[in-house]
Amino acid sequence: MNNKKDISWELNNLEDIETKALFKIYAVDRDIKIRDELINRNLYIAEILSKKYANRGIEYDDIYQVACLGLIYAIDRYDISKGYEFSSFATPTIIGEIKKYFRDKGWSIRVPRRIQELSKKINNAKITLSQDLQRTPNVLEIASYLNSTEEEVLEAMEASKVYTPHSLDSSYDSDSEDKDINLAALIGEDDEYFSKIENRDFLLKAIDKLDDLERKILKDRYFKRKTQVSIAQDIGMSQMTVSRIEKKIIEKFRKELKRTYA
């Protein structure tokens, strides 16, 4: 009886619970209150990524709504037991939704106005229904929500796949710089930010599994650029022993890398 009261108290005081703990609870209970709290706490990720794609021909509010949808997908799919930070998992998911929206936004043929308007309503409906249903809505649910027929929704969805190819010489106004941004500069680039997040999470996870001596040797060898001989003198061991420990550290990193990206 006391456990039920304790759980009820926790759910009514979600702001007092750490985010990682909320993810663990949500993984078991899938409680919509916890889900909403996780969304609110991580909206800043959607906001940051939305601003990154602003001023590229699509209104910021539309991009932000799509980013929020991506955030919801990420929260539903996130598995905290794998050891990744949520931000590193959510960022590629949100970016994927934004890029998909950019891809589907333009029209390469003249599409009736009603279809274009319905297409936008469908995108908004997906965001709302995904939050309410805790899953991706089907065509029937979208049609019922919009008071439309399934045929009309399918027609608009199919039409939205027709997008306008833009010239790579096209440019967009930039608020952060004096000159315009060229479209060619935005395509086909690896985002260094994502790689840094993934590498940082991997290194922290791998280093956490080392003992104190291994951490010291790793720090001295690869951060302070010391030789094996100087490290051996500092800790009172032979250079051969330091070499063996260094090889052991590298092997641990390799195994962790295989487990992480298997």
What is the average per-residue pLDDT within 131-153?
A: 88
pLDDT of residue 1: 40
pLDDT of residue 163: 47
pLDDT of residue 67: 93
What is the average per-residue pLDDT within 153-160?
A: 80
Cα torsion angle, 52, 57, 60, 63, sign: negative
- pLDDT tens track for 41-85: 999 999 999 988 887 767 888 899 999 999 999 999 999 888 888
Reported as a pLDDT band with limits 50, 70 and 90, residue 40 is: very high
pLDDT of residue 120: 82
Reported as a pLDDT band with limits 50, 70 and 90, residue 9 is: very low
Residue entry with tokens 């790689």: 195
pLDDT of residue 6: 46
- Give me the domains of the chain, ranges plus CATH numbers: 2-163 (1.20.120), 196-261 (1.10.10.10)
pLDDT of residue 2: 44
Helix 228-235 vs helix 239-261: angle between axes, to the nearest 10 degrees?
Answer: 110
Reported as a pLDDT band with limits 50, 70 and 90, residue 92 is: very high
d(CA 34, CA 134): 12
Structure tokens at 194: 């994502």
Residue 208 predicted with pLDDT over 90: no
Give the alpha-carbon dihedral of 149, 130, 100, 115, to 10 degrees: 20
How far CA 150 is from CA of 33, 93, 140, 201, in Å, comes to 31, 28, 6, 44
Residue 169 predicted with pLDDT over 90: no
What is the average per-residue pLDDT within 124-133?
A: 86
What is the average per-residue pLDDT within 82-106?
A: 85
pLDDT of residue 7: 44
How far is C-alpha 23 from the geometric centre of its chain's CA atoms?
15
Q: Is 201 helix (H, G, I), strand (E, B) or coil?
A: helix
- Residues 6 or more apart whose CB falls under 8 angstroms from that of 11 comprise 31, 33, 34
What is the average per-residue pLDDT within 13-27?
A: 82
